Amino acid sequence: MDFRLTEEQELLLESLRELMRRDCPETYMKECYENHEYPQRFIDALTAGGFGLLGVPEEYGGTPADTVTMMLVMEEITKNGGPHFSFGQPLSIKDMLEFGSPEQIEQTMTAVKAGQAAFVLGFTEPQAGSDSGAIATTFQRRNGKVYINGHKSFMSNALRAPYMLCLARDADETAADKRQAFSMWWLPMQKPGVKAEPLKKIGWHMLDTCEVYLDDVELTEKDLVGKEGDGFRQAMINFEAERLLIAAGLLGSAECAFEDAARYACQRVQFGRPIGDNQLIQLKITQMKIKIENMRNMVYKCAWEIDNKIPVRISSALAKLYCAQAAMEVADDALQIMGGIGYTVDCRVSRLWLDTRVHRIGGGTDEVMIHVAGRAILKNYR
Ligand SMILES: Cc1cc2nc3c(=O)[nH]c(=O)nc-3n(C[C@H](O)[C@H](O)[C@H](O)COP(=O)(O)OP(=O)(O)OC[C@H]3O[C@@H](n4cnc5c(N)ncnc54)[C@H](O)[C@@H]3O)c2cc1C
């Protein structure tokens, strides 16, 4: 097995490291976090550096990249203290590029080229979290128009993104298989009838997350994305690569927390010697390192499998599950090593600790990952 990076990957990461040093200093991240502000300046720098179009097919003006490279970039951003959401649009727009109409694709790409999130992912509702089949938002045809009614919950980017990719159920459904009642709609966030109210979260302060109320939002047939009744299948083509992207971001933030804590362990003197001289601290450092190595192996291998067209239903769910838990443990140990200072906003480990926690919930909870992987693993033994 060859774990060496290619020359192109080395060069790409070196230019990214330079960009991170210049455009993503910790002082700026801290300021954005404290003010609950989107880090626009950093996103603009990533876009200008070409990272916003990395992974987008050439026909849409992008620079193709394999999955391993995409994951290396994600890891490098969070390893240097950047936020998870700042990279990966090319993966999340995949369903639009595959199923969107030429006009919808153009609208998506206009946003991506400008460094904006193109759309809000409109799945979750108050009664439909892990159970997407319980989605109650409806679409209904009246007088040659289509009307959307419902309530979406936890909509990230709802204050900024121009569209919502809205999963809705046919109000007049008769389908025997209820999953065929769901379709995707391209819903402009500025339309009358759309109301977004931000949630007050304990972390993830650089990105808004909102309740979104949809009250008779008027669309037309051209706003359907892909095929009617195919909403779930279309949504799922992206899940596995997105799970892996989350895992890669978690790997980077675990490395970031680890390095801050390791440096601190060498500097902080108590009882006349650096705290890192104590075996209890060395035990933490060693276990953190093992977890990071495991995370890296799972992420890189799964990325390699995707690039080699090997099915990753199991390995992407395992990577997301393991990395979400291990990164949380690493961040928690890092905070413990830093003692009281770790519990203040002056220390970035406190931000990593808060922001890591969400990934055991978002993008599919730990329990859902166990459900996905567990069923698939056992299938091989029946
Ligand atoms: C900050 C943030 C941003 C988000 N952004 C978006 C977004 O942009 N778009 C979007 O659509 N969604 C978004 N979400 C929603 C996220 O996807 C959901 O929170 C997640 O899917 C879980 O749903 P839930 O919160 O309703 O929990 P529930 O599904 O109600 O689950 C509660 C608990 O029960 C467990 N559970 C549920 N079912 C089972 C089962 N069968 N077996 C065992 N345990 C089970 C869960 O694992 C969890 O521990 C976001 C969430 C957060 C916190």
Encode pLDDT of 101-124 as tens digits.
999 999 999 999 999 999 999 999
Looking at residue 231, what is its pLDDT?
93
User: From the CB of 158, is ligand 1 less than 6 Å away?
Assistant: no
62 vs 54: CA distance, rounded Å? 6
Q: Confidence band (pLDDT; 50, 70, 90) for 283? A: very high
Fold classified for 119-225: Butyryl-CoA Dehydrogenase, subunit A; domain 2 (2.40.110)
pLDDT digits (tens, 9 = 90+) for 124-164: 999 999 999 999 999 999 999 999 999 999 999 999 999 99
Residue among 85, 92, 119, 124 whose CB has most ligand 1 atoms within 8 A, to mutate: 124
Atom of ligand 1 nearest to the CA of 365: 47
pLDDT at residue 90, rounded to an integer:
82
Task: Tell me, yes or no, if the two domains 119-225 and 236-379 fold the same way.
Answer: no
Question: What local confidence, expressed as pLDDT, does residue 173 receive?
Answer: 81
- The listed CATH number (1.10.540.10, 3.20.20.70, 1.10.3720.10, 1.10.490.10) that belongs to domain 7-113: 1.10.540.10
User: How far, in Å, from the CA of 72 to the mean position of ligand 1?
Assistant: 27
* Domain residue limits, the chain: 7-113, 119-225, 236-379
Look at the pTM and tell me if it is higher than 0.95: yes
236-379 — its CATH code? 1.20.140.10
- Per-residue model confidence (pLDDT) at position 88: 87
HEC states along 220-284? CHHHEECCCCCHHHHHHCCHHHHHHHHHHHHHHHHHHHHHHHHHHHHHCEECCEEHHHCHHHHHH
Tens-place pLDDT, residues 16-59: 999 999 999 999 999 999 999 999 999 999 999 999 999 999 99
Question: Does residue 156 line the site of ligand 1, with CB under 6 A?
Answer: yes
CA of 347 to the centre of ligand 1 (A): 29
